[in-house]
Structure 1
C-alpha cells in the first residue's frame, strides 16, 4: 500500500470495516479458494494417500480415543447432566470445535510473515491470508466432525436441533476468524506472539471443560470458568447433539461473542495492515 493511502484508511467509519471485509473476501473469493486449495494439497504433497489423509487422520483419532476411553479406561458420566453416559462422545463433541478454533489461531498467527513477499512487493489483499488459514483449519477438522456425526446417527442421537449445527459452526467460525485477524496483525509487530499463543492455548484447553463436565469443578471456581467463551460454544454443541435442546441465552451470548470478535479483529487488522510492509 502507498503511504498516501493511510490517512484515508484511518478515517474510515469504525462500523463500516466488518461490512467492507465481507466485500473484500467475496470479491477475491477465487484467490481465497486458491490459497485454501494450496494449503490443503500442500499438507499431503508427495504422500501416496494424498487427500485421503483428510479422512484417515481424523478417523484414526476417533478409533484411538474409542480404544482408550471405551475399552481401556471405561469412564461413565451422569447422563442426566451430559446427555450421554459415554465419556468418548462427550469428549469428542467438545474436542472437534476446539481443534478447529485452536488450529485456526495457530496457523493464522504467523501467516503474514510467511507470505511477506506478497505483502511487501505487490498490491495484495492481506485480508485473505488469515481467512484462508481459518477456512483450512475448519475444513480439516470439519471432516472429522462429520465422521463423528455419522457415528452419532448410527447410535440414534439424531434430532431436529441438528438442523442448527451449520449455524453454530458459522458462529464459531466468526469468533475464530476475528481472533485470527487480531493475532496475525499483532504477530507482525510482536514476534513472540506465536510462542505465547502455544502456551496460552494449552492452558485454555485445560480450563475449558472438554475432558470433564463443569460439575466436577469446585463451585467456587465455576463462575470464573463460565466467562470462558469456548465453554459456551462447546456446551452449545453438546446440548444440540445429545440433549436436542436449545439454550437461547447461550445462543445469544455466542452471537454476541462472534460478532464482537469479528468486529474487533477486523478493525485491529485494518488499522495495522498499512504498516506491515514497514516492519517485514
Structure 2
C-alpha cells in the first residue's frame, strides 16, 4: 500500500471516529487498532471469515477496499489484496473525499459518430483533395455570437474566427446552437470564450514534415490553458459532463474532438476524421 493510500485510510477512519492519531501515512498502534475495529464492525463484507489471521498490511488494504465499497466504488472482493482494481478505486476515492466528486472518466464518454458533410480522413492526400494545399486555401472570417478573449492575453478580444471557406456554414450552425444552449453566463462559466486560435500555417508539434490541421484552416483550439495537450479527462476542463452538448453540437456536424475520441488535446476540434 502506498503511503498516500494509508493517509487516505487514516483520514477516512478519523472522520468516522475510529482513529485519533495523525494522518501521516505511518502504521502505528493507533492505526492498527482503528483498522482492526473498522474491519470487525464490517466483517460481513469481507471475503474471508478468518480475516483476523491476515497480517497488518493486508488488513490496511482491506480497510481501503471497504471504504471504497461504502462509497459505491467497484473494488471487487474485499480480500485485502492490492491489485489494479484496488489501486483504481483508491484513486477515485481520493477524488471523491477531497473534491466532493469523481472526475470524468474517459470510458463514460461516447462521441457522436456522424459526418453529414463527408469531411475527409486526416491524411495529407485526402486533406489536399478536399480542402486544397496549405498555403493556397481560401479562408473566410466567421463572426462568433459571443466575445472571444485570447487565452494567453485576455486583454485582446475578437469576434472573428478565420476558417476554411468550406466550413463557414457548419461553423455558424455550431456556434449559434451552442450560444442558444449556454447563453452568456454558461459561455463564461465554462471558459468557452477563451480562444486558442484557428488558422495557423504551421507543422504539427514535434514534426518537421507533417502539416497541422490548423494549416488547412480546419481546426480550432478552445481554452488551451485548462486543456493542455497531454491532459486527460480527469483534468481537462472541457471534459466536464456539462459540456456534452458543446461537443455533440460539433460532432453532429462531423467535426472531431481529439479529447472525446483519444482523451488528449481536449482544446482541439477539427473538420477531419481519424
What is the TM-score with the length of structure 1 in the denominator? 0.20
Which has a greater percent of strand?
2
Which structure would you say has the larger RCO, counting Cα contacts within 8 Å and 6 or more residues apart? Answer: 1
